[in-house]
Structure 1
Amino acid sequence: MSGSDGGEVGATGGEPLLLGVRHHGPGSARAVRAALDAARPRVVLIEGPPEADALIPLAADADMRPPVALLGHAVDEPGRSAFWPLAEFSPEWVALRWALEQDVPARFIDLPATHSLAWGRDTGADEADEAEADAAEAAEAETDTGDGSDGSEGIEEADGAGRIDVRVDPLAVLAETAGYDDPERWWEDVVEHRGGGTGDVFGPFLALEEAMGALRETYGHGGHDKDLVREAYMRLQVRAAQREFRAGVAVVCGAWHVPALRRKASVAADRALLKGLPKVKADMTWVPWTHRRLSRVSGYGAGIDSPGWYGHLFAAPDRPIERWMTKVAGLLRKEDRLVSSAHVIEAVRLAETLAAMRGRPLAGLSETTDAVRAVMCEGSDVPLSLVHDRLVVGDVLGEVPQGAPAVPLQRDLDRAQRRLRLKPEALERELELDLRKEIDAGRSRLLHRLRLLGVAWGEPVASRGSTGTFRETWRLRWEPELAVRVAEAGVWGTTVLAAATAKAEADAVGAPSLADVTALAERCLLAELPDALPVVMQVLADRAALDADVGHLAQALPALVRSLRYGDVRGTDTHALTEVAEGLAERIFVGLPPACAGLDADAAEQIRRHVDAVHGAVGLLGDAAVAAGPAVASPATASPAAASPAMDGTERGAPPLRVRWHSVLRVLCGRESVPGVIRGRAVRLLLDDGELGQDEAARLMGLVLSPGTPPADAAAWIEGFVGGGAGGGMLLVHDERLLGLVDAWLTGVPADAFTDVLPLLRRSFSAYEAGVRRTLGELVRRGPGERAGGGPIGSGAGLPGFATGLDTARADAVLPVVRLLLGLDGVPGHRDADDNDLAGVGG
């Protein structure tokens, strides 16, 4: 048999056996195996980076399960990387396995990764471009190598100089010539659905070579100059193999490259194309890959839309449609859909009928999809989308043997994954962790440390059914690109713990704001990095001491106080964190009142949010300080002035921080220079904490809503008091005096000022639940200032569902049940003599 130029095609002749393929094509893979079995070459040359030659023996390892990928990365810049993915149905993988099984040498002959990874770098890019242009001009008379993609896919790609190169799509052109409107369907009919018969095994390759040669003659090389360089390198490698093995050289490469490898070109011209190429030090390894990632254009430049379907065609050459429909039925049954054997039979018949009507040799993906939709999914695309996601694309994740080269950090991560029984999976899943269990606590530490390193294997999500700090929920999904992130993180250390510690320390020093440092401290506690925490805390203390912006301090305190909660479950020492948090709170207490003066509306709203955040943080911080005991109290906290009550109504023994915070709130609610939204919120917080009586709150509201206060200021005060989603609606529902004051003020707002205050009021009341708004409307609608029972608003008479006074007998009857629910049954001092009978009734 002869090639397009009359050369010998068989591997036993003088010319190499050029097997042009479509990357990740099961038909091409079967044809390659048949051709290699027939030709029995002495060496197999494969398109791929030559640095991976040492990794080829691992392809025969029992623990190697495709899909996998060759990962090449620059040693000094791990983020500069590239993948060469291989599936079980990839022709290159089949060629590798054949060579290993037959004990035949196999080599990669594409442009080395040391050049391809450096391609497009700013350093030396101009010189490389000039060298390529000169070499291409010198070689133009000797070789007619057009441009093309790595496989048969059309690609649009930007080169290092920022130019956009558009390559012709060979499949689209050939399909259009054959009368097809879908290139994928044409390829399936011509190649993928061909059986592995015993006919002319070289015929398909000769036909593809002739077609690609015609396309290259027509379209020339109007695309990527990089392909000219790659093909020059591959020609040099083929010549070297011919000199070493004489005859018997087989080459497996993208079909587009075959005409360029077949045509003659001088060694000098090819070497001229390679002169002056940029370089980086590169390293190679095997990494797991997924079917889903095969659908992307990467490495070989050939993405496929249906890797799961192609994998099925390769694994089931006999009766593929029947086997596919059985798979679909099994998947749908797992999702509790009623699919019987009769459905499978009818779906197969329909797919075959559609193929016959459309003139196809075998039912393809479109026919099987239409049949599944009509028969098994009852015309619905909802279950069909599940079939497409799980089977047509698939979530198969490959495996790589432990002996594959890897950075030390990757090996430590592998050990941790095995120890914690946390296997990477391509399918997204949720993982519930109970931090009281040692194995779950270890999983949490690992995931938090990886997040610090930028390896986003898991994403924390809100736990369902529990708000305790002992429970965490993670959404896990392993992506092949995470192997690159692990390689990048390897610069920080050889173990996950050491790398996360070093990264946290570096991030603390370079953090742009105080809030970022506090967030980092929280992440260090979650990841349990005891060596990093002192460094982070020192940076935090230094930043807090120098930052005079109360807004920055108020942003930092909540995250810092939240971190204290993790000490209980995780057993982390948070004494230093408590001291810094208390010092931060003290500075907020001092600086907040002056910072609230002279603010516009937007700044006042921002400070109001800070006040809410600090209020919650002080409550948690006070509890943490009391629980920790005097040993963790800061000197400022332990001062006699701080320990004494600061206001009327404060109970003895209350946490000093909370006492001083209440003093700050009293100052805010009494200063006329403080914006109304902040004063109203201060009154509301004091009222909620029991530090302000109902009568005093009503008096302050009455003063603000008096005719002498501008309507805009009064509306802002109301917004601060009842707005912000803090339960203000229910407060008005149950406190008739406050509702009466708001109602009387609102009805007395002048018409010319009403349009100014309306946006503020709408913002406040629109945050209430529908039921609360409806109840308020009913209360106000019952006459101006009158209740259903005849009393005015605020009198307490006639409120539906409520009596005029407290029914103590009915209230006392509930106490025994409440004690049982709270676990106070049998606790001395918590039960009266006649509670036993009531408790029995309640039980």
Structure 2
Amino acid sequence: MTVHVLGVRHHGPGSARSLRAELERLRPDVVLIEGPPEADGLVDLAKDPDLRPPVALLAHVPGEAARAAFWPFAVFSPEWQAIRHAVEAGVPVRFCDLPAAHSLAARPQEPDGPGAADGDTDGEPDGDTDGGARAVRTDPIGALARAAGYDDPERWWEDAVEHRGDTPFEVIAEAMAAVRDGHVPDEHEARREAYMRRTVRGAVRDGYERIAVVCGAWHVPALTGTPGKAWGAGLPSAKADDALLRGLPKAKVETTWVPWTYGRLAARSGYGAGVTSPGWYHHLFASPDRPVERWLTEAAGVLRAEDLPVSSAHVIEAVRLAHSLAVLRGRPLAGLAEATEAVRAVLCEGAETPVELIQRRMVVGERLGHVPDATPMVPLQRHLRAEQRRLRLKPEALERELDLDLRRPLDLERSRLLHRLLLIGVGWGTLRPSRGKGTFRESWTLAWRPEFDVDLIEASSWGTTVPAAATARVRDLAAAAPALPGLTGLLERCLPADLPEALPAVLEELSARAALDGDVTHLMAALPALVRAQRYGDVRGTPAEGLAAISDALLTRVCVGLAAAAGGLDDDAARDLVGHVDGVHTAVGLLDAGDEPEAAPSAPPSGAPSGSTAETGTPGERTADPGAGPATGPGADPAPDDRPRARWLGALRAVSGRSDLHGLIEGRLVRILLDSGELDTGRAERRMFRAMSAGHPPARAAAWIEGFTSGGGLLLVHDARLLGLVDGWLTSLAPEAFVDVLPLLRRAFAAFAAPERRAIGERVRSLDAAGAAGRAGDAGSAGEDVEAVDDERAAAAVRTVLTILGRA
């Protein structure tokens, strides 16, 4: 009986190639591989050609998504090559690491924590299985690299192992024994190694004669014993190992294969046993001869695909430069560093952006593995795979954009699937602003990540299909929603997902919460999402029964309670209320658009700029005097005051005249009423004149201007009288008052677009003395109840002033 302990670097292409050759030479009758023993029954799936790396073993505690761990394998992983050798040779395979039932029972795991696990990264000692609470005490690769005079452990490993083409397993074992000399493993590491020894003893008891153990190089001394003697000499006894493993916590776990990605395998993703350049390592494994030449040729192809000029001469010179750099640095073969410098200097001519493209496409790479249909899956996973095939939505690791036209049945079904997945917590697609103006378009960014399989397993408790799981999840979210705005947001997400069985539950909960919620700001925050859901349902053809009644009731309560909510507010509360007012005003526009018949727009109010944001009402809402309110003539609608817009603007008119309003609120209400045609320019001027009079503190006047101009700066560009009022007030401020209001004014004008600010500046610069005087006269005559000047009485006053000045 012989036991061969083969120490490897996880995800090392040189180790993988040498291990495969060593196994073919040794011809073992059993192979023990570092990994969770619960996955022994999944090894046969490696025979299936549809199991294509990168893939990972997933172990999880049912019902607890936080307790999950991955053991990833790439095609260049030594463990994967050991599995492939065993299944091709018909040799049994056993995993020999500490069972996941114990490691997952000890503490919650991070989704991509233990992996390859439980810390032994590239021959390093065990890190933490839960994301880093246990620090790595020794870096063996770093220690050996320093002993060899290298400052970069990765470069030393490539020179000493990866570029050699053969891994001297005996030498690695001796090196690790030297590095581990005096090392005392912590409790978790000691238990892992004790279980590995127990597995080897079990294989010996089962009568296997040639046993091959494939593990991280760090564990080799703990599994080999005294060199030159029978296996087990110098190792802890079976009794001692059993005592160490006795009493471990245990949880019920399930295991399966899941797709993995090279991006997730990279160390930058947070995976403990990751490598910084999985794409480069894949290339080294797949191209044993002339790897640098093939790499640079492929890089040229990537750049040409982006319409960058790269010739064959570029490639030849890049190869020469890479090899020359390797010679200068004393390396046996040009590595990734030399190849990258050659790409930057020759192929990209010093530009960094193309180098980043090569980094993303080739050095890291975005390969997504695949698992066969025979892989154990929960029904929800199987249903999603079937939907992906039916809708021709292939999961890919690389981000891609997907534009949908909801008028097409296929795109509509795709949209519903993506919205349903978002509801159950699977963010395969990210909705982004659509490029078109129509509401029938959606734009998504799709990128599949390995942890989505964990999310699907967790969501399987809600149902066996995506629609069923989303429906159950929405019902639970509706019952647990802490506030009314959360319910309306849930409703807005529910409608595009087309979940008719969940909609009644959400509407019932929404109606009950709206009836009991007395906070007007809650109602105002809830109304916009509710109205959008009502209108969006119309666009998609989704029935939205009950929404109109609820939104109408909410608007009525908002109009009634707005006066009480608007008084006596500080700066922060006023700014918050203005945001709610704007949201409700937009929502009312949507409601009115759905209720009103088509009509030719009325003329804008006097002084309103062409192309401004002013809204023009229908003939039934306006009279010859824009400030006189809704019309009641024969041509008007039967009950114009019942329309959402009329009720809302009526509430704003009633509130805007109050004297206890915060300046920001009053200014914003006046602007809304002006743009809506409820105030003409003259009345708006008088409101502004009063707000900026000497009776108000400068800070309140500045807040009023900020609220008034928050709808856009074009009004000041096109209305010289309003601009003159602002200019005259500003230039009349005392220096200390100007310093106080400057931050408010900067914040107000900073919200304008650059062209608007430039146009306002040009208008202010063009103001001359006569214009300023004229505007001042206009402003004075615009005051309410100002009488005409009596020339006779004024003459007496003039004579008195001239006498005082000595000019009579």
TM-score by length of 1: 0.82
Distance 1:794 1:110, change over 3 A: farther
In 2, Cα distance between equivalents of 1:785 and 1:681? 31
Q: 1:597 aligned to 548, 555, 567, which one?
A: 567
Runs of at least 5 residues in structure 1 that lack an aligned partner in the other structure: 1-13, 123-146, 197-202, 629-641, 797-843
Q: 2:543 matched to 1:573? A: yes
Give, in whole Å, the separation in 1 of the partners of 2:452 and 2:554.
38
Whether the aligned pair in 2 keeps the contact of 1:291 and 1:308 (CA below 8 Å) is: yes
1:379: Cα distance to partner? Answer: 2.5
The offset of 1:772, in angstroms, is 3.0
The alpha-carbon distance between structure 1 residues 270 and 581, as it changes in their structure 2 partners (threshold 3 A), is: same
1:148 Cα offset (Å): 8.6
Q: Give 1:579 deviation, angstroms.
A: 1.3
Alpha-carbon offset, residue 204 of structure 1:
0.9
1:34 is aligned to 21
Aligned to 1:304: 275
Give the conservation status (yes or no) of the 8 Å contact 1:515–1:555. Answer: yes
Distance 2:747 2:163 in 1: 64
Instruction: Identify if the C-alpha distance between structure 1 residues 178 and 562 changes in structure 2 by more than 3 Å, giving closer, same or farther.
Output: same
Query: Could you tell me which residue of structure 1 aligns to residue 232 of structure 2?
Result: none
Q: What are the equivalent positions in structure 2 for 1:503-522 lying under 5 Å apart?
A: 503-522=473-492
Name the count of aligned residue pairs. 732
- Secondary structure of the 2:434 match is coil
CA distance in 2, matches of 1:61, 1:320: 29
CA distance in 2, matches of 1:224, 1:770: 63
The residue identity in structure 2 corresponding to 1:34 is: A
Amino acid at match of 2:193: E
Cα distance between partner residues in 2 of 1:710 and 1:253: 77
- Give the corresponding residue for 1:687: 674
| Alignment correspondent of 1:215 | 179
Q: What per-residue deviation string (whole Å, max 9, x for no partner) do you get for residues 106-153 of structure 1?
A: 11111111112112369xxxxxxxxxxxxxxxxxxxxxxxx9935413
Q: Aligned to 1:181, which of 143, 151, 157?
A: 151
1:718 positional shift: 2.6
Aligned equivalent of 2:356, options 365, 372, 385: 385
Aligned pairs for 1:160-239 (under 5 A) are 164-195=134-165, 204-218=168-182, 220-221=183-184, 223-239=185-201
Q: Is the 8 A contact 1:26 1:89 kept in 2?
A: yes
In the aligned structure 1, how far is the partner of 2:767 from the partner of 2:439? 49
Quote how far apart the aligned CAs of 1:54 are.
1.1
| Paired residue secondary structure (1:764) | helix
Specify whether residues 58 and 231 from structure 1 end up closer, same or farther in structure 2 by C-alpha distance, changes over 3 A only: same
Structure 1 range deviating more: 419-428 or 567-576: 567-576
CA distance in 2, matches of 1:547, 1:188: 66
Alignment partners' CA distance in 2, 1:36 and 1:627: 81
Distance across 1 between alignment mates of 2:566 and 2:751? 25
Give the counterpart letter for 1:250 in structure 2. Answer: A
Contact persistence 1:435–1:570 (CA under 8 A): yes
CA distance, structure 2, for counterparts of residue 213 and residue 617 of structure 1: 72
Preserved contact between residue 20 and residue 208 of structure 1 (Cα < 8 Å): yes
Q: Tell me what 2:730 maps to.
A: 746
Structure 2 counterparts to residues 108-507 of structure 1, below 5 A: 108-120=95-107, 149=120, 151-153=122-124, 156-157=127-128, 164-195=134-165, 204-218=168-182, 220-221=183-184, 223-263=185-225, 264-296=235-267, 301-464=272-435, 466-507=436-477
Matches for 1:746-765 after TM superposition, within 5 Å: 746-750=730-734, 753-765=737-749
How many angstroms does 1:643 deviate by?
A: 11
The 8 Å contact of residues 779 and 787 in structure 1, kept in 2 or not, is answered as no
Say whether 1:532 aligns with 2:512. Answer: no
Partner SS for 2:476: helix
Residue 97 of structure 2: SS of its match in structure 1? coil
Q: Which residue of 1 aligns with 2:801?
A: none
Alignment partners' CA distance in 2, 1:159 and 1:84:
13
| 1:211 partner letter | A
Q: Secondary structure at the match of 1:217?
A: coil
User: SS where residue 431 of structure 1 aligns?
Assistant: strand
- Report the counterpart of residue 836 of structure 1 in structure 2: none
Corresponding residue of 1:736: 720
C-alpha change, 1:159 and 1:622, in structure 2 (3 Å) is: closer
SS at match of 1:78: strand
Kindly provide the amino acid, as one letter, of the partner of residue 451 in structure 1: L
The whole-number CA distance in structure 2 between the counterparts of 1:228 and 1:708 is: 81
| SS at 1:492 equivalent | coil
Partner of 2:630: 650
Which stretch has the larger CA shift, 748-757 or 692-701? 748-757
Task: Look up the SS of the partner of 2:366 in the other structure.
Answer: coil
**Which digits, 9 at most, give the CA deviation of each residue in 1:580-608, with x for residues without a partner?**
11111111000001111122232222212
| 8 A Cα contact 1:153 1:303, kept in partner | no
Counterpart CA distance in 1 for 2:251 and 2:133 is 22
Gap change, CA 1:673 and 1:305, over 3 Å in 2: same
Deviation at 1:374, TM superposition (A): 1.9
SS in structure 2 at match of 1:623: helix
Contact 1:294–1:304, Cα closer than 8 Å, also in 2? yes
**TM-score if structure 2 supplies the norm length?**
0.86
**Secondary structure, aligned partner of 2:630:** coil
Quote the residue 1:85 is aligned against: 72
Partner residue, 1:553? 523
**Identity percentage of aligned residues:** 58
Matched position secondary structure for 1:245: coil
Pair 1:64 & 2:64 matched: no
For 1:585 and 1:440, how far apart are their aligned partners in 2?
Answer: 35
Does structure 1 residue 562 correspond to structure 2 residue 524?
no
Contact 2:257–2:371 (CA under 8 A) maintained in structure 1: yes
The corresponding residue for 2:36 is: 49
CA pair 384-745 structure 1, distance change in 2 beyond 3 A? closer
Task: Find 2:588's aligned residue among 610, 618, 625.
Answer: 618
Cα distance change, pair 148–472 in 1 and its aligned pair in 2 (3 A): closer
SS in 1 for 2:289: coil
8 Å Cα contact 2:621-2:630 kept in structure 1 = no
Do 1:704 and 1:717's aligned partners in 2 also have CA atoms closer than 8 Å? yes
Unaligned runs of 5+ in 2: 110-117, 226-234, 599-619, 780-808
- Structure 1 position 710, deviation (Å): 4.2
- Taking the aligned partners of 1:299 and 1:588, their CA distance within structure 2 comes to 49
SS in 2 for 1:396: coil
What is the root-mean-square deviation of aligned Cα atoms in Å? 2.7
Q: Distance in 2 between matches of 1:441 and 1:643?
A: 38
**Counterpart-to-counterpart distance in 1, 2:596 and 2:546:** 15
- Counterpart selection for 1:106 from 85, 93, 97: 93
Distance verdict in 2 for CA 1:737–1:768, change over 3 Å: same
> Which string of whole-angstrom CA distances, capped at 9 and with x for unpartnered residues, describes residues 189-238 of structure 1?
22211236xxxxxx7111111111122124x12x5321211111111111
State the alpha-carbon separation in 1 of the partners of residues 82 and 760 from structure 2: 77
Q: Structure 1 residues 434-443 or 600-609, which shifts more? A: 600-609
Distance 1:148 1:585 in 2: 58
Helix, strand or coil at the partner of 2:206: helix
Q: Deviations over 1:423-469 (max 9, x none)?
A: 111111111111111111111111111111111111111122x1321
Q: Is the 8 A contact 2:417 2:497 kept in 1?
A: yes
| Matched-pair contact (CA < 8 Å) for 1:170–1:212 | yes
Distance of 1:158 and 1:99 partners within structure 2: 28
CA–CA separation in structure 1 for the residues paired with 2:239 and 2:67:
31
